[in-house]
Structure 1
Amino acid sequence: MISLNPESVDFATLRKLWQGGACSLDAASLERVATSSDAVGRIVAGGATVYGINTGFGLLANTRIPADRLSELQRNLILSHSCGLGDALPRRVVRLMIILKLLGLGRGYSGVRPVVIDALQDLLDRDAMPVIPAQGSVGASGDLAPLAHLIAAMMGEGRINIGGEVLPAREALARLGQSPLELGPKEGLALINGTQASTAIALDALFMAERVFSAALGAGALSVDALKGSIRPFDPRISAVRGQPGQIRVAAAIRKLLEGSAIVASHAGDCGKVQDPYSLRCQPQVMGASLDLLLHAAGTLTIEAGAVTDNPIVFADEDNAISGGNFHAQPVAFAADIIAMAMCEVGSLSERRTAVLIDPKMSGLPAFLTDDGGVNSGLMIPQVTQAALVAENRSLAFPASVDSVPTSAGQEDHVSMAPISARKAAQIVRNVAGIVGVELIAAAQGIDYHAPLATSPRLTALHEKIRTLSPHLVSDRYWADEMAALQSAVLEGTLDNGDEALLTVTSG
């Protein structure tokens, strides 16, 4: 059980939570929640007009709501905002949304009652994930529609997925032994204001990107050996004189992966090549730059995971609630777009290496890596699939964060589009996993042509993993299932590069 301290959130813990680690708020957080809730009670009793507590919302902020209708106000807020469309968010993303909402509320600036925390915690403990449509948020005032669907399910509206079985929310709550949640003053607004949907989707993309990046490092090194490429471009002195930290790390990783290769040794002293193509030679420069961007995104999203992002913010020590704009998800939008661009380039480089591998003029290997060309097409068309995914990624990589469509009759006149940035990033990462999967097949085939010379011990282990999913190519066969298996293995982290220290974008 991971004890959540919202005032001290780190990336490694977030990764464990994404992987399914059980968690709950620590005692200090629960105490802060109770204190903040008491402050809202005093504000209501005092009769002051405070946005979101006893007023309408958005353009209706100047409409005062009588005390006997405050509960109705909160319920209507949730129902009116439950208007998402599209496919449901993955269960792991919804779970992370709930955890992030607990972290934000646990800071003690939102004014919700402990019973709300209990209801959210029960969803986690019982593996009951509300069904949340992916589309409908512009990332300000928070992720309104996705979070509204989350809370509506707790109120008995919508649907809940219990361990894979989707039920009407009221029926699901009954099965769980829960009563529908009734919201108090400010609670509806506290629960749907916030960046938890955008941040959860972006973190999901980043955690997948870690795995894909690791596999891409292994694929790149394997391709270097399959092509009898030079290891001189990975000399640490080259990267040191430039000084970019990601470049230094990637060059070191590739050197380590190739260490002990008999193929490298076979052409170390007498190699006719002067320079390799950029897709081989410039891996530290391109992959390193991507790594630096992923690190930056990780820092931003880690801060956002423990942030207070609802509105107004309750300062219990003064019985005061101040309206602001922490719900604006611009930091998340930029971080997600950075992930998208970084991983787009990882995929582009991988496809180019595959193109070199299948081109006999560039590789010195059989055309399309098949011995009986003409009758067999070999890896000709899997590389076309790579090209299609690369083209799709380039289109998706255009940043959504530079766009804005005003909403709420102009009151919300600049929005972040963070959920769109995050969903695009996640799709790019999945596409890159497919691209890298094809390169792994091609590089493994290239290595086979150098037998009995063996690649390095680390790359031999990777080669063996590839061969459990994709046997050596003798003649043409049905490719789609193998490619899908490689893509899944990359996303699941089972085709890592063989060194745990290189598996995380946050390792030093």
Structure 2
Amino acid sequence: MVVLGSKVLSLEEVHRVLFEGEELVLDKAAVQNVNDNFEFLKKFSSKKLIYGINTGFGPMAQYRISEDDTHQLQYNLIRSHSSGAGKCLAPVLTKSLMIARLSSFMQGFSGVHTDAVHLLKDLINHNIYPCIYEHGGVGASGDLVQLAHLAHALIGEGNVLYEEEIRPAAEVYAQLGLKPIDIHVREGLAIINGTSAMTGIGLVNIIEARKLLLWSCALSSMINEVVEAFDDHLSYELNVVKKHVGQNKIAEMMRGMLKGSKMIRHRPDHLYKELEEEIFKDKVQEYYSLRCVPQILGPIYDTLTHAETVVVGELNSVSDNPVVDHRHQNVYHGGNFHGDYISLEMDKVKIAITKLSMLSERQLNYLLNDKLNHKFPPFMNLGKLGFNFGMQGVQFTATSTVAENQTLSFPMYVHSIPNNNDNQDIVSMGCNAAQMTYKVIENTFEVLTVQVMTLLQAVDYLNCQDRLGAFSSRIYQDIRAIFPKFIEDAPRYADVQRIKAYLMRNEPMVAVEPVTEKRHKTSV
């Protein structure tokens, strides 16, 4: 199980809760700290003007709320802002959102009653997903609309998805013996005022984007293998003179993935000798989509590394307003709800993954265009040319999907629209950025699916299974188990769905030995 509150929560721990079914447990000392913070706020707020406790919200904060109405004020806030539209978020995104909101509360600066953290923990552990809608948040004052739907479920009034059925929250709570939270001081504002929707989606995006990067490395290695590329563009010596961590990591991984291959060629064995030809049959250098992979995927590696630091930092931050500090006996008003950190990182990840999908599409095009590769039949057609179509139809899907990614890559970070009577005069659009990034990532799994289908057909055309390295051979065997070699034409949409699901469930893992200066490093 994962203990929340005793230390910084890591991405790996979030992954375990989201994808491995691990239970969340609240650290007792941290829960006591949450309670101490609540008790301080309850006393401190008496006869003091504190935003969102005895004032209206946003531009209506100039209006004092009578003590008789402060309790109802929090309910009014939750109900009025439960106004989202579009589809409900995918369950994994909702669960991640709840982890992010719970992590923020467990820092002990939000003034919430401990009932809120206990119920959030129970929803996560019971796989109860509040119906949270995709449209509504502008990402400054936090993800107000998305988190209002979370709050609506927490008070027992909203709908939830439980065991693949949408039901009233109160009904599910009664079935499981759970109790909706009561409003004590500021639970309404505390729940809805923060960056937890964009952060939760961002965490899933980083996890899935890293998986895509590994698959892109793997498929880039396989295409170099099946076309019998030269190995020096992956060599330690060539890459180490470029002083970027990502490039060298990618080259190192690809060398590990190609270890033992009988198809990758060592340039000195073929070209560094006296040759009589005036025109060479072999390409002296491969196309950029084959030999520039470390330089293309390297910046993506570095982008994801930095994005993880930022998003995990936000996960372990206090993102609501005001900040209740019982240690210094004060309440601080400011803007920790502003989502620019997440918005900017999600835009960068989105652009990076779009570029990854573009690399995949170019590698796919190389395999399918016989005029480029001079090695394979058009469209990797293993049947009768002109009569059969091979991968021709599926290529359209990959090309169309990459084009959609390119359009979606317009940055939300610079798309602020003032609203809320200009109180929110510059906003982050962070939740939109995170959701669009999620869409780009999902799209890219589809593009890589078409690429791997084509690579497997190429291996069978060459009948080179026994010449592949162990890494490529394992991928070939695993995916061939769900996608047999084909010659005759048939609908391929079910194959695309199965392989996409496989890529999303699995990570290609390779053991990489660190390269030392003392040994020969060029040949893979």
TM exceeding 0.5: yes
**Separation (CA, whole Å) in 2 of partners of 1:324 and 1:370:** 62
**Separation (CA, whole Å) in 2 of partners of 1:501 and 1:137:** 43
After TM superposition, give the deviation of residue 28 of structure 1 in Å: 2.3
For 1:370, the equivalent position in structure 2 comes to 381
One-letter identity of the residue aligned with 1:349: L
User: In structure 2, the residue corresponding to 1:116 is in which secondary structure?
Assistant: helix
Q: 1:460 aligns with which of 434, 450, 473?
A: 473
Instruction: Rate the CA distance shift 1:266–1:405 in 2: closer, same or farther, 3 A.
Output: closer
After TM superposition, give the deviation of residue 384 of structure 1 in Å: 1.6
1:164-243 alignment, distance < 5 Å: 164-243=164-243
User: Residues 480-505 of structure 1: CA distance to partner in whole angstroms, max 9, x if unpaired?
Assistant: 11112111111122xx3332679xxx
**Separation (CA, whole Å) in 2 of partners of 1:175 and 1:489:** 35
After TM superposition, give the deviation of residue 56 of structure 1 in Å: 0.8
After TM superposition, give the deviation of residue 31 of structure 1 in Å: 1.5
User: Residues 227-258 of structure 1: CA distance to partner in whole angstroms, max 9, x if unpaired?
Assistant: 12222110111111011111001111111111
Q: Return 132-141 or 443-452, whichever deviates more.
A: 443-452
**Separation (CA, whole Å) in 1 of partners of 2:441 and 2:298:** 17
The reply to whether residue 286 of structure 1 matches residue 302 of structure 2 is no
User: Residues 162-191 of structure 1: CA distance to partner in whole angstroms, max 9, x if unpaired?
Assistant: 222211222222223234322121211111
One-letter identity of the residue aligned with 2:421: A
TM-score (norm 1): 0.95
User: Residues 388-436 of structure 1: CA distance to partner in whole angstroms, max 9, x if unpaired?
Assistant: 0110000001111111111210111111001111111111111110111
Q: 1:433 aligns with which of 436, 445, 455?
A: 445
Q: Is the 8 A contact 1:337 1:397 kept in 2?
A: yes
**Separation (CA, whole Å) in 2 of partners of 1:52 and 1:299:** 31
Instruction: Rate the CA distance shift 1:465–1:276 in 2: closer, same or farther, 3 A.
Output: same
**Separation (CA, whole Å) in 1 of partners of 2:302 and 2:183:** 43
After TM superposition, give the deviation of residue 262 of structure 1 in Å: 1.6
User: Residues 60-105 of structure 1: CA distance to partner in whole angstroms, max 9, x if unpaired?
Assistant: 1121111121110111010011000111111121111111111111
**Separation (CA, whole Å) in 1 of partners of 2:7 and 2:128:** 26
After TM superposition, give the deviation of residue 457 of structure 1 in Å: 0.9
User: Residues 257-298 of structure 1: CA distance to partner in whole angstroms, max 9, x if unpaired?
Assistant: 111112225997336220101000110000111111011111
For 1:505, the equivalent position in structure 2 comes to none
Q: Is the 8 A contact 1:4 1:23 kept in 2?
A: yes
The reply to whether residue 119 of structure 1 matches residue 119 of structure 2 is yes
RMSD of aligned alpha carbons: 1.7
Q: Which sections of structure 1, spanning at least 5 residues, go unmatched? A: 503-508
After TM superposition, give the deviation of residue 473 of structure 1 in Å: 2.6
**Separation (CA, whole Å) in 2 of partners of 1:166 and 1:497:** 35
User: In structure 2, the residue corresponding to 1:24 is in which secondary structure?
Assistant: strand
After TM superposition, give the deviation of residue 218 of structure 1 in Å: 1.1
For 2:52, the equivalent position in structure 1 comes to 52
**Separation (CA, whole Å) in 2 of partners of 1:318 and 1:233:** 58
Q: Return 243-252 or 482-491, whichever deviates more.
A: 482-491
Q: Is the 8 A contact 1:227 1:446 kept in 2?
A: no
Q: 1:394 aligns with which of 406, 412, 422?
A: 406
Q: Comparing both structures, which one devotes a greater share of its residues to helix? A: 1
User: In structure 2, the residue corresponding to 1:460 is in which secondary structure?
Assistant: helix
User: In structure 2, the residue corresponding to 1:439 is in which secondary structure?
Assistant: helix
**Separation (CA, whole Å) in 2 of partners of 1:62 and 1:500:** 61
For 1:33, the equivalent position in structure 2 comes to 34
One-letter identity of the residue aligned with 2:508: N
User: In structure 2, the residue corresponding to 1:262 is in which secondary structure?
Assistant: coil
Number of aligned residues = 499
User: In structure 2, the residue corresponding to 1:212 is in which secondary structure?
Assistant: helix
1:127-138 alignment, distance < 5 Å: 127-138=127-138
Instruction: Rate the CA distance shift 1:304–1:266 in 2: closer, same or farther, 3 A.
Output: closer
Q: Is the 8 A contact 2:229 2:265 kept in 1?
A: no
Q: Is the 8 A contact 2:208 2:504 kept in 1?
A: yes
Q: Is the 8 A contact 2:261 2:469 kept in 1?
A: yes
After TM superposition, give the deviation of residue 22 of structure 1 in Å: 1.0
User: In structure 2, the residue corresponding to 1:242 is in which secondary structure?
Assistant: coil
User: Residues 192-224 of structure 1: CA distance to partner in whole angstroms, max 9, x if unpaired?
Assistant: 111110111111122111222211111111111
Q: Is the 8 A contact 2:232 2:238 kept in 1?
A: no
One-letter identity of the residue aligned with 1:36: N
1:193-342 alignment, distance < 5 Å: 193-264=193-264, 269-270=269-270, 272-342=282-352
For 2:435, the equivalent position in structure 1 comes to 423
For 1:103, the equivalent position in structure 2 comes to 103
Q: Is the 8 A contact 1:7 1:107 kept in 2?
A: no
**Separation (CA, whole Å) in 2 of partners of 1:237 and 1:194:** 48
TM-score (norm 2): 0.92
One-letter identity of the residue aligned with 1:447: V
One-letter identity of the residue aligned with 2:90: P
For 1:506, the equivalent position in structure 2 comes to none
Q: Is the 8 A contact 1:222 1:444 kept in 2?
A: no
Q: Is the 8 A contact 1:6 1:107 kept in 2?
A: no
Q: Return 192-201 or 258-267, whichever deviates more.
A: 258-267
Q: 1:476 aligns with which of 478, 489, 492?
A: 489
User: In structure 2, the residue corresponding to 1:424 is in which secondary structure?
Assistant: helix
For 2:417, the equivalent position in structure 1 comes to 405
The reply to whether residue 16 of structure 1 matches residue 16 of structure 2 is yes
Q: Is the 8 A contact 2:139 2:431 kept in 1?
A: yes
One-letter identity of the residue aligned with 1:368: F
**Separation (CA, whole Å) in 1 of partners of 2:377 and 2:70:** 74
For 2:498, the equivalent position in structure 1 comes to 485
